[in-house]
Structure formats: structure tokens, C-alpha cells
């Protein structure tokens, strides 16, 4: 994940390059390091270096890294000729390379030649069954064809081998959410919370999935995970604060007319409401009245 400081730094660097202030190479390195997707910029500034023999040779062995980076960016921008040129240069320099083979597979993907791309990946996997990137490409290939059940199958196979890969668990959770398979998504977030218990994002996403599933037990659990997300962020998570209000309201609706003792901690909602009101007053004062009536409508319905 990219932190706020890193993003600011990246944007500053991008602005500098854009306004002719130089630093294109530093920018490209930073994009690689953060693994962000800024394909149009990478293509533009990467090519400006590659097309200038002086600048290019000053990179030394890093030249080949840049060819690879530009090839991938070009495919993302549908500039397939540029991608092909870059890959050809790499192919000449590293004739037997698997890494170049991967790029060739990706070029087939970009062209929409699904079957051939799949063939290329399968043959690469034969040589190295544990190539994580190729496994992920196959998932992407299934997704690109809209074949979600195959994508899920591939990810699950991958996770049997690389079960500590939290990004892939997240990907799987997101696919399940998009297919409205919330129970399966919940399982993924449980895995993520077990593996990294202090990441508030996972607590929040888990709570959102539980709330979506509905039912008293899930709502009560959702409320707990919103609370932990709030705790882990020092009370600074707007989504979790809203989540508390939604849960309280939904729980009250479900338990209407039941024993009073089930209404646990009504003050949790007042605390969340107060935190939201304070934050909006300070940072989004023009939305305070909308927030007020929204929170009120949640209370009235409870």
C-alpha cells in the first residue's frame, strides 16, 4: 500500500517532470518502487529516455529494466507497437529469458489472443511451477474474459501454495464482493485479520461485509469490528464511525419490542455521532446540516 507521504512525493515529482524540471528517471524508479499504475506518464517519460541514446546509455544495466517498464505501460495504453519494439530489444539481449517470455505472453493478452496467451503461460509454468507472477497473469486472463469462476478457481489454487500473500486474499475478497458472495468474502477477511491483526482496513472491510450479510448476530459482530477499526485509527475513520450508526440503527430495528437488556451500549452511537459532527464542523462545515439530518433519520428509524 502507498502511504500519504509517498503519494505526495510521487505527485510532486510527477509535476516537476511534467513542467520540464527534469527527474524523469527518478520518477520512473519511484513508480516502480511503489508499484503504482501511471501508465500514460511512464510511457511518455520512459520513451523520452529510451529515444535519446545519450540518456539511455547513461543508465547502464538499468536500461533493460526501463525497457520492461515501458513495455508494460505501453500495453496498458494499447500502444502495442511500442510494446513490441521494447520486447524485441529485450528478446535480442536475453534470448532465453523467462522474464521476457512473460512479457511476450502479456503482449498476446493485450492483443486479446486469449488462447495463445494461456498457452504461453502454461509452458512457462511447466519450466517453473512456482512463478507467482505467471499464476497471477492467468487469473488476470480469466478476469479479462469475464470468466469469474475460473479466476476464483485459479486464485484458490494459488493460495493453497502461497497462503501468506495478503494482496491475493484481498483480490479474492473483492471478487466475491462483486459477485455478492458475501460469506466467502467474509472468510477472506477473517484470514487477513488473522494474518495482520493491526491493519484497520481489514477490520473495516470485514465489518462492511458482515453488515451487508445482515441478521442480528452479523450486525453485532460488525459493530465490534467497526469499533476495532476506530480504535486502530485513533478515532479517525469516517467509514467506521458511520458504520457504528448504521449498525445501532439496524440492531434496534431488529430487537424492537424485545428485552431492553439486549440494547447494549447506546452511548457507542452517541460517541460516534459526536465524533462525526465534530469532524464535519471542522473540515466540511457546509455539510454539517446534511449530516445532522442524516444521523437524525437513522435515530428516528431505530
DSSP line for 206-273: HHHHHHHH-SHHHHHHHHHHHHHHHHHTTT--HHHHHHHHHHHHHHHHHTTTS-GGGS--THHHHHHH
Instruction: Confirm or reject binding of residue 178 to another protein (CB under 8 A).
Output: yes
Instruction: Confirm or reject binding of residue 238 to another protein (CB under 8 A).
Output: yes
Instruction: Confirm or reject binding of residue 146 to another protein (CB under 8 A).
Output: yes
Which residue, 128 or 289, has its beta carbon nearer to another protein? 289
Instruction: Confirm or reject binding of residue 243 to another protein (CB under 8 A).
Output: yes
CB of 59 to another protein, least distance (A): 29
Return the residue of 8, 37, 141, 225 that touches another protein, per CB under 8 A: 37
Return the residue of 38, 211, 221, 232 that touches another protein, per CB under 8 A: 211
Instruction: Confirm or reject binding of residue 246 to another protein (CB under 8 A).
Output: yes
Instruction: Confirm or reject binding of residue 45 to another protein (CB under 8 A).
Output: no
Collect contacts of 6-11 with beta carbons under 8 A, ≥24 apart.
6/34, 10/34, 10/36
Q: How many residues bind another protein (CB under 8 A)?
A: 33
CB of 267 to another protein, least distance (A): 21
Maximum Cα interatomic distance, the chain, rounded to a whole number of Å: 79
Query: Is-contact 276 291, C-beta < 8 A?
Result: yes
Query: Is-contact 86 67, C-beta < 8 A?
Result: yes
Instruction: Confirm or reject binding of residue 298 to another protein (CB under 8 A).
Output: yes
Instruction: Confirm or reject binding of residue 212 to another protein (CB under 8 A).
Output: yes
CB of 295 to another protein, least distance (A): 9
Return the residue of 36, 59, 144, 254 that touches another protein, per CB under 8 A: 144
Measure the CA dihedral 186/191/195/197, to 10°. Answer: 30
Instruction: Confirm or reject binding of residue 294 to another protein (CB under 8 A).
Output: yes
DSSP line for 156-189: HHHHHH-TT-HHHHHHHHHHHHHTT-HHHHHHHH
Q: Is 284 helix (H, G, I), strand (E, B) or coil?
A: coil
Residues in the chain: 302
C-alpha cell at 153: 478457481
Instruction: Confirm or reject binding of residue 279 to another protein (CB under 8 A).
Output: yes
CB of 48 to another protein, least distance (A): 20
Query: Is-contact 68 86, C-beta < 8 A?
Result: yes
Return the residue of 7, 127, 174, 217 that touches another protein, per CB under 8 A: 174
Which residue, 46 or 243, has its beta carbon nearer to another protein? 243
Kindly list the residues in this chain that would bind another protein in the complex (CB under 8 A): 37, 143-144, 146, 174, 177-180, 182, 205, 207-209, 211-212, 238-239, 242-243, 246, 279-280, 283-284, 286-287, 290-291, 293-294, 297-298
Amino acid at each position: 500500500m502507498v502511504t500519504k507521504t509517498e503519494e505526495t512525493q510521487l505527485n510532486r515529482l510527477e509535476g516537476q517532470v511534467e513542467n520540464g524540471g527534469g527527474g524523469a528517471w527518478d520518477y520512473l524508479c519511484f513508480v516502480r518502487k511503489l508499484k503504482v499504475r501511471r501508465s500514460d506518464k511512464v510511457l511518455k517519460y520512459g520513451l523520452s529516455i529510451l529515444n535519446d541514446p545519450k540518456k539511455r546509455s547513461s543508465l547502464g544495466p538499468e536500461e533493460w529494466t526501463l525497457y520492461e517498464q515501458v513495455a508494460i505501460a505501453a500495453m496498458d495504453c494499447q500502444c502495442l507497437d511500442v510494446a513490441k519494439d521494447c520486447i524485441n530489444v529485450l528478446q535480442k539481449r536475453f534470448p532465453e529469458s523467462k522474464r521476457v517470455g512473460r512479457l511476450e505472453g502479456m503482449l498476446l493478452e493485450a492483443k486479446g489472443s486469449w488462447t495463445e496467451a494461456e498457452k504461453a503461460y502454461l509452458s512457462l509454468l511447466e519450466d517453473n511451477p512456482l512463478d507467482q507472477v505467471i499464476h497471477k497473469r492467468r487469473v488476470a486472463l480469466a478476469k479479462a474474459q469475464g470468466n469469474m469462476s475460473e479466476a476464483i478457481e485459479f486464485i484458490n489454487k494459488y493460495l493453497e501454495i502461497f497462503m501468506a500473500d495478503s494482496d491475493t486474499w484481498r483480490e479474492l475478497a473483492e471478487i466475491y464482493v462483486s459477485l455478492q458472495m458475501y460469506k466467502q468474502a467474509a472468510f477472506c477477511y477473517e484470514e487477513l485479520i488473522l494474518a495482520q491483526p493491526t491493519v484497520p482496513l481489514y477490520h473495516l472491510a470485514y465489518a462492511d461485509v458482515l453488515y451487508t450479510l445482515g441478521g442480528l448476530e452479523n450486525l453485532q459482530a460488525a459493530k465490534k469490528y467497526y469499533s476495532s477499526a476506530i480504535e486502530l485509527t485513533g478515532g479517525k475513520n469516517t467509514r467506521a464511525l458511520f458504520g457504528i450508526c448504521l449498525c445501532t440503527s439496524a440492531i434496534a430495528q431488529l430487537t424492537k419490542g424485545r428485552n431492553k437488556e439486549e440494547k447494549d451500549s447506546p452511548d457507542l452511537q452517541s460517541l460516534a455521532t459526536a465524533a462525526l459532527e465534530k469532524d464535519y464542523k471542522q473540515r466540511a462545515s457546509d455539510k454539517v446540516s446534511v449530516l445532522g439530518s442524516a444521523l437524525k433519520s437513522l435515530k428516528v428509524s431505530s
